[in-house]
Amino acid sequence: MANRAHTFTRAVHAGEIRRKPHHAVTTPIAQSSTFTFADTADLVGFMEAQQRNETGDRLEYGRYGNPTVAAAERKLADLDGGEAALLFSSGMAAVTVTLLSLLAAGDHVVITDDCYRRTRQFVTEFLPRLGIEATQVPVGDYDALEGAIRPTTRLLFSESPTNPYLRVVDVPRLVEIARQHGLCTAIDSTFATPINQRPLEMGVDLVIHSATKYLAGHNDLLAGVVIGSTELIGRVRETQAMVGAICDAHAAYLLLRGLKTLALRVTRQNETALQVARFLAADPRVERVYYPGLPSHPQHAIAQAQMSGFGGVVSLELAGDLAETGRFIDALQIPYIGPSFGGVESLIEQVVLASYYSLSPAEWAEIGISPTLVRLGVGVEEAGDLIADLNQALTCALGGRDQREAP
């Protein structure tokens, strides 16, 4: 599918062959761990072609590839504007295997804070066990970012928008710093999706997504993907083949199904989330709203410059306490309580309980997480229904709007 086609069209057709097996309209599930050869000559021919990197669609074993997985990878590469994509069993598998592929003992990586906590844990706690040093810098502080670079630095890793505060990285500026120092760049773009942001077109080397979220879109599978140049993806593929963190055929089939409606869903979620964010920002029972589409957001201008939409996640802090925040969430009738986002169903979580339950209130304060912080992943429900539900839940937890208005 040519890149000049509209994103909506490419989401449906890109990466999939026109004439599919059995004349099916959808790409079938190739539910096989092993692919056979007609005879010894067929096997030898495959091995020789493999040495020339000319195997085409021919496969031998499921850990090295699968036709259904390959179709999903081609579609994902097309949507993000990359040469190649590689699917994994989860978003964290995509992150960890990519880092292990690019870094070795003695190397150094710089990561921005406010990335997903498990990513930060892996970089700052696990990689040092392998002799790989890491420095964490405040997101948006480009002087600190450049100041952290050493002769042994190999990679700048960031996330944009970030989780959970939806901070937006100035991607061109990040790329400029990396190029001045000859470094590789990787961006976790899960919150943005290729519909709202295309970091590869801004010069980033690798883009990572938790495909579990928006890409799949139905809260029913786990997968991750890394997208970039053929050369870099080839390096990551070699590591994946050893560790075996592969996406199975059935998950890839479900992902292909979800991707066909990606542009439709994300466009809807962009619109709904902006309406929800505006409602919450105007309500005195809400202390603060974090959403890049609001002029009050610190990186609103950056988001406008490099994003075509602001996503379906809205984070907020209530003008209350821990218990009142829990009552607010419990009073909601549409969103489910759950630790994810990006699907057709709205999901909500109280961040300190879902991600930092083992820490004390003092530790919450130390890492800058408010006990009233809530992350709402907007689904595809009617915006007016969600707003009405949020309003009644705020009333249940914090009283009526009139009681909370400033004198």
Please name the amino acid found at residue 102: L
Asked if 402 is an active-site residue, the reply is no
8 Å CB contact between 394 and 286: yes
- Locate the domains of the chain by residue range: 7-30+66-259, 262-404
| pLDDT at residue 14, as a whole number | 87
What is the per-residue pLDDT across 156-179, written as a single tens digit (0 to 9) for each?
A: 999 999 999 999 999 999 999 999
Pick among 3.90.1150.10, 3.20.20.210, 1.20.1250.20, 1.10.268.10: CATH of 262-404: 3.90.1150.10
Number of C-alpha atoms within 13 angstroms, CB side, residue 37?
Answer: 13
SS3 400: coil
Mean of pLDDT values over 122-149:
97
Eight-state DSSP code of residue 341: -
What is the C-alpha to C-alpha distance for residues 399 and 393, in angstroms, rounded to an integer? Answer: 9
Q: Active-site residue among 78, 107, 170, 188? A: 188
What is the per-residue pLDDT across 260-309, written as a single tens digit (0 to 9) for each?
A: 999 999 999 999 999 999 999 999 999 999 999 999 999 999 999 999 99
| pLDDT at residue 74, as a whole number | 95
| pLDDT at residue 407, as a whole number | 30
| pLDDT at residue 3, as a whole number | 56
Q: What percent of the chain has pLDDT over 90?
A: 77
Eight-state DSSP code of residue 87: E
| pLDDT at residue 401, as a whole number | 59
More confident residue, 407 or 207: 207
What is the per-residue pLDDT across 214-236, written as a single tens digit (0 to 9) for each?
A: 999 999 999 999 999 999 999 99
Asked if 188 is an active-site residue, the reply is yes
| pLDDT at residue 375, as a whole number | 97
Helix 262-281 × helix 383-398 angle, to 10°:
40
8 Å CB contact between 375 and 315: yes
CATH topology of domain 7-30+66-259: Aspartate Aminotransferase; domain 2 (3.40.640)
Tokens read off for 374: 């809530």
Continuous segment of H or E residues that includes residue 95: helix 91-102
| pLDDT at residue 230, as a whole number | 95
The pLDDT of residue 17 is above 50: yes
